[in-house]
Chains A and B, each alone.
Chain A
Amino acid sequence: MDSAIVCHQVRKYFWEEQEADPGACWLKRLRPGKRLTKAVDDVSLEVKRGEIFGLLGSNGSGKSTLIRLMATLLLPDSGYVSVLGQDVVKNRLAVRRMINRVSVDAAFFKKLSAYENLMYAARLYDVNPRQAKIDAEAILKRLGFPRNKIYASMENLSRGMQQKVAVARALLTSPMVLLLDEPTTGLDPKSKRDVQDFVLEVQAEHDTTIILTTHDMAEAERLCQRIAIIDGGRVEDIDTAEGLKNKVGGPSTTMEEVFFALTGRDWSKEAEDHEAD
């Protein structure tokens, strides 16, 4: 079996509440209408084992929804998603044993220390606490996390340090598939580089399959063997960075130009919008 993840004609739509029109009657303002958002629209893709696969798209393009579908946090409306041969709907528990995730927001119990958060996660994944402590310290050291901060509460750590703990939490459980949902967004250049280097190291040493969603063109180009350009819930194209460039203009084409050619969106404006968010 060569595929780690298979998505076949996956759809996920949401009904979202519309902003109430200030000029509408009070009843309509009280119960504003809903509009259908096509978060993931007929997506089919296949990720090979041991691959770093990038999902590149702007805010609201459907990247995180796709990751949540793979992570068993959402049910697809139609189509199917499988992780290492296991259906994410029918065999949720089996899928959960093989995956872990790092999200854009370092989600932790903020009053607890990094150590307490890591040990809690390790116990949920049935990792021996002693081994978990050794592994956690080794991973954090590799990521340049200060040793004396491991017992500090999460709320007193910088965003970069929190994200490094999030990476350690995911890797402690030795996942076969690692879902990285914008793991370097908001990090300083040094922390960003530390995390990127570590991602490459993990893939090389452990043969982990990694799905990486990102806004960062350079990051996608540096880390990913293949990249899917996603826009409006649809996959516009999938190829290597070189392949995408060649399709659009040639080797000297930038990824920003590739993105514009495939989606019709100006990346610099998307980046500005993202900063504003």
Chain B
Amino acid sequence: MKLTRELRASMAFAQRQYNLIKRYWSWEVVFLFYSIINTLTIGLIGVQAGENSGELILYLVVGALLWGFLSVVFHEVGESVSWERWEGTIEYTFMAPIHRLTHLGGMCLYAIGYGAIRTIIVLIAVALFFDLSLTGANLLTGLAVLVVSSLSFIGMGLMAAVLPLLSPEKGSQATHIIQGFILLISGVYYEIEALPAWMQPLSRFSPATYTLRAARAALLDGASISQLAPELLRLALIGILLIPLGLFIFSLGERYAMRTGKLKRNG
């Protein structure tokens, strides 16, 4: 694999998505508006807590922001096949002379950049609305958590992206089931202990559990990178395992689609 050639091709995907955002800008305004309102309404639940409302608001807002970011990364990667199928370009992308890693790597790069920008805009809006003080927060650690946790969500996104390859009609909807399940078990808006006892062990299998724990430690308690090193290492390891596993599963799905004739446009 000639690295520079593959990198250039990878950037073509990021550039293409950027161009599409420009053309679908009104959709972006709507998505952003909804994300801000959603985060605000979740944060407002914390206002009812009385004396500790500031801490609870931050707890909830961190959950909403992180979930927003991870959802965007998961969605953009997971929906990349559905989107191409809908546009009718899927065959052209899959017959391009590039490695699948290049194709999906470009989509992941875009997803992280796009998710980060959206999260920062929502954060600014929320901070202004609640007059949040982030003086005790360790933003650098928070950023490190965001970057490291992206790896595992990319891996999961790659696994989810295979579903529309397997089933053009139902695959896209199935990715939402995965997303919903992660939301339920990962303690996005509550502690894991709030889950029924039988469900609590499931949270160990979700990278979002560790992401949220680490992000809250950084932003609520001001934990440093060295203090969170074990959590960050765990997240990095999960990502390192999930990305190749996701690629492997995707390649199996691609082969299945090529065998059964499902690698074609739909709609």
Contacts and interface: CB of A to CB of B under 8 A. Distances in A.
Interface of A: 14-15, 39, 65, 68, 71-75, 93, 96-97, 99, 101, 103, 105, 107-112, 116, 120-121, 123-126, 153
A111 B93 CA distance: 17
A40 B98 CA distance: 28
A39 B24 CA distance: 39
B259 to A, nearest CB: 5
Contact of B99 (A93, A101, A153): A93
Given A75-B255, A107-B92, A112 B12 contact: no
Interface residues of B, number: 32
B11 interface: yes
A111 B95 contact: no
10 contacts: A73-B91, A99-B95, A107-B90, A107-B91, A109-B87, A112-B16, A120-B15, A123-B11, A124-B9, A124-B93
Given A14-B260, A72-B258, 17 more contacts: A14-B261, A15-B260, A65-B261, A68-B261, A75-B258, A93-B99, A101-B92, A107-B87, A107-B88, A108-B87, A109-B87, A111-B24, A112-B16, A121-B92, A123-B11, A124-B93, A124-B96
B89 interface: yes
Given A103-B91, A108-B87, A93 B258 contact: no
Given A107-B265, A109-B20, A112-B20, A71 B95 contact: yes
> DSSP majority for the B interface?
helix
Interface in B233-267: 255, 258-261, 263-265
A121 B93 CA distance: 9
Contacts of A39: 261
A126 B98 CA distance: 9
